[in-house]
Chains A and B, each alone.
Chain A
Amino acid sequence: MLKRLNELNFVIGLFFTIVSLVLIADDIFNKEKSGDLKLYTGLSFLIFGLLMIIIKTNRSSEK
């Protein structure tokens, strides 16, 4: 897991996954005027983040 921090796509995926969780949690606890925009954005970020994490780059090409 720690070794994958050397892969940029993993780092980007991790970033968007964390941000998506912040957005989804904020949507659950703080509905106000936002409608579903925050939830949909959070879910889109989550899908993108997980896809970036799953993608396995050629390790030799990173070196």
Chain B
Amino acid sequence: MSPEIHHDSRADELLAIRCVLGERDAFDELIARWHEPVWRYLRCLANSDDATSDLSQDTWLRVMRAIATLRDPASFRPWLFGIARRAAMDRMRRQYQWTVDDSAVLEELPAADVEEAALESDLALLESGVASLPLPEREALALFYLRELRIDEIAGLLGVPAGTVKSRLFRARCLLRAKLQNEGVIP
């Protein structure tokens, strides 16, 4: 584990402890720090900004109501994304159907990749490539490239072995590469 990640984990644990204690300021900091990554993750699962905003609100309500009973503040990050995921799955169950995203966000991809796809038209193709991935691969890709969760944390959150997460990531990259090659975006 790199020193930076270790430092972030400690900062997250400290923030989580302050929330469990019931400090009002800590909740403001928590929301400021985690709203964007959670929103981006949910945007990858939802099919519109409006749906993402609803899911985000639902997630944060659940967080505020459940954090008092958080037993292990050290595992705050997978706990948070687990709540976001459950909120999204509950919504999907309510809708009784799943529509493929038609506008998945690109922010999950590493900055270097985005820089490589410099032209706007290429970005649009990349975007449609991510959106065309099956849900398990798209979700693993989003969680991993948000750079917020490690493989073992994603595995715990999704309830699958670490090897499955790795294979989903591998498959996602292959599918995305094949799609982009077919579109002529990359050689």
A-B interaction: no
